[in-house]
């Protein structure tokens, strides 16, 4: 397996003036490493890459490489609305020491599947690194469908796919027809379904809040195949994951979760706004209850 375990798309903590809190960023990385994640994703949407300048994104790659060392895999999110900047960021991630890339369709342009395939292969050629595809048509409109997959699957650098379409029929389809592209959990509330179809890795935004718990959860269902215990853990996680995925305030909620765990988080950059008091109170209750229920299950004597 190329990808196995938890890959956390880490947040970017900001000061109140909107500048990056680099000391806090280092603490975010350290905490993930201390809790045994397999990989750290820098430059994902959870890290608010779209609100960062190109220079800030490249500096994050350099900073993370030094901080992570050999303790985990550094995966770089290189998506950008402009292809030339995407390729520049790709080269910068490679030069900084990234070991793999997370690649989605460029936003707004809505390329065809053939056009998207050529874009991905250009990134592969530029980087020379293993690529995890990111299929999220709900965000970028474009589906990484059969035509696309038939083209890119012949390239050995296309190593995995974070499937975030929410379409359960894609799981057996991908697993059966494209076994050379590893299936990676891409929906917070769909861990069991992915594991049943062979997924061993999870790109896990919840690990920003509960890294140790998510590492153990993925081990239980991905390595041990203990779906009985996995169902109980999923039930405990569901209120949090449903709120994150469907509540419409994903990033502010993730950052609140970090704050409640005593971790650096800070503001979200515009156009996003802070949570309203009612949702903040609701999320505080959900996060507290999730922590208690999940750890009660994990701490049971076998």
- Let me know if 134 is a catalytic residue: yes
d(CA 74, CA 101): 9
Residue of 7, 25, 134, 136 marked active site = 134
Task: State pLDDT tens for residues 114-151.
Answer: 999 999 999 999 999 999 999 999 889 999 999 999 99
Crossing angle for the helix pair 211-218 and 277-298, to the nearest 10 degrees: 50
Closest CA to 222 of 177, 187, 259, 191: 191
Task: State pLDDT tens for residues 24-54.
Answer: 999 999 999 999 999 999 999 999 999 999 9
Residue of 7, 25, 136, 162 marked active site = 162
pTM of this prediction?
0.97
DSSP annotation string for 19-39 = -B-HHHHHHHHHHHHHTT-SE
Crossing angle for the helix pair 54-68 and 83-96, to the nearest 10 degrees: 20
Lowest mean pLDDT among 21-35, 54-68, 227-241, 246-260: 246-260
Sorted by where each begins, the domain ranges of the chain are: 5-226
d(CA 132, CA 292): 33
Please give the class, per CATH, of domain 5-226. Answer: alpha beta
d(CA 8, CA 157): 21
The DSSP element (H or E) to which 120 belongs, if any, is helix 113-127
The DSSP element (H or E) to which 64 belongs, if any, is helix 54-68
Crossing angle for the helix pair 250-260 and 277-298, to the nearest 10 degrees: 60
Count of all residues that appear for the chain in the document = 302
Closest CA to 197 of 222, 230, 233: 222
């Amino acid at each position: 397996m190329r990808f196995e375990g938890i890959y956390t798309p880490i947040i970017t903590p900001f000061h109140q003036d909107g500048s990056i809190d680099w000391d806090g960023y280092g603490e975010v990385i350290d905490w993930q490493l201390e809790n045994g994640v397999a990989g750290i994703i820098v430059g994902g949407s959870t890290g608010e890459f779209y609100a960062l300048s190109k220079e800030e994104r490249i500096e994050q790659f350099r900073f993370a490489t030094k901080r992570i060392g050999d303790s985990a895999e550094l995966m770089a999110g290189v998506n950008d609305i402009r292809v030339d900047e995407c390729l520049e960021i790709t080269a910068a991630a490679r030069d900084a020491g990234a070991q793999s890339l997370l690649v989605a369709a460029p936003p707004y342009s809505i390329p065809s599947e053939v056009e998207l395939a050529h874009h991905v292969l250009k990134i592969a050629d530029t980087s020379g690194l293993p690529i995890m595809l990111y299929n999220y048509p709900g965000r970028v409109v474009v589906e990484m469908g059969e035509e696309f997959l038939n083209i890119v699957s012949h390239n050995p650098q296309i190593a995995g796919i974070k499937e975030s379409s929410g379409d359960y029929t894609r799981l057996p389809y991908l697993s059966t027809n494209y076994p050379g592209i590893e299936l990676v959990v891409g929906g917070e509330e769909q861990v069991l379904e992915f594991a049943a179809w062979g997924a061993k890795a999870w790109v896990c935004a919840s690990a920003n809040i509960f890294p140790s718990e998510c590492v153990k959860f993925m081990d239980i269902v991905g390595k041990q195949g203990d779906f009985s215990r996995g169902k109980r853990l999923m039930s405990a996680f569901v209120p949090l994951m449903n709120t994150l995925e469907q509540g419409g305030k994903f990033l502010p909620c993730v950052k609140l979760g970090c704050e409640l765990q005593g971790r650096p988080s800070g503001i979200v950059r515009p156009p996003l706004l802070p949570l309203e008091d009612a949702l903040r109170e609701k999320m505080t209750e959900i996060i507290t209850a999730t922590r208690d229920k999940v750890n009660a299950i994990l701490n049971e004597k076998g």
